[in-house]
């Protein structure tokens, strides 16, 4: 059974930073395309970023690229998302996801999802 568990969300003041974590069990993250999504209230779930293993360059949604860093630690089977200069419009539930195929992940239909962690940014 595959489980993805996000943590690190919470309430943060605008301009602040957060580091979200995604712990995986049942899969080895280094063998999957791992990524982050978010869903703001009343909006669709948006793809944010995905890891590229073997020294590749991570892929980011343009709107968060300058403020975000995605990383992963195969030794602990954990993925991270560091977000800086947070804005109220970053308020959303953040999800991690995994799939064997990049296009499926970026297309929003990965095989595996976490339960999400709420991030609220105050103005």
pLDDT given at position 55: 76
Among 106, 104, 118, 121, CA closest to 7: 118
Mean pLDDT of 83-90: 96
pLDDT of 116 > 80? The answer is yes
- Tens digits of per-residue pLDDT, 39-86? 999 999 999 999 988 778 899 999 899 999 999 999 999 999 999 999
């Amino acid at each position: 059974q595959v489980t993805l568990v996000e943590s690190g969300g919470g309430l943060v003041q605008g301009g602040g930073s957060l580091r979200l974590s995604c712990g995986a069990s049942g899969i080895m993250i280094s063998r999957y395309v791992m990524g982050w999504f978010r869903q703001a209230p009343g909006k669709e779930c948006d793809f944010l970023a995905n890891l590229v293993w073997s020294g590749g360059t991570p892929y980011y949604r343009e709107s968060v690229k300058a403020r975000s860093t995605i990383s992963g630690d195969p030794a602990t089977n954990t993925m991270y998302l560091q977000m800086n200069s947070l804005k109220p419009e970053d308020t959303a539930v953040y999800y991690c996801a995994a799939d064997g195929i990049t296009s499926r992940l970026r297309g929003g239909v990965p095989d595996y999802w976490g339960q999400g962690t709420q991030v609220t940014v105050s103005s």
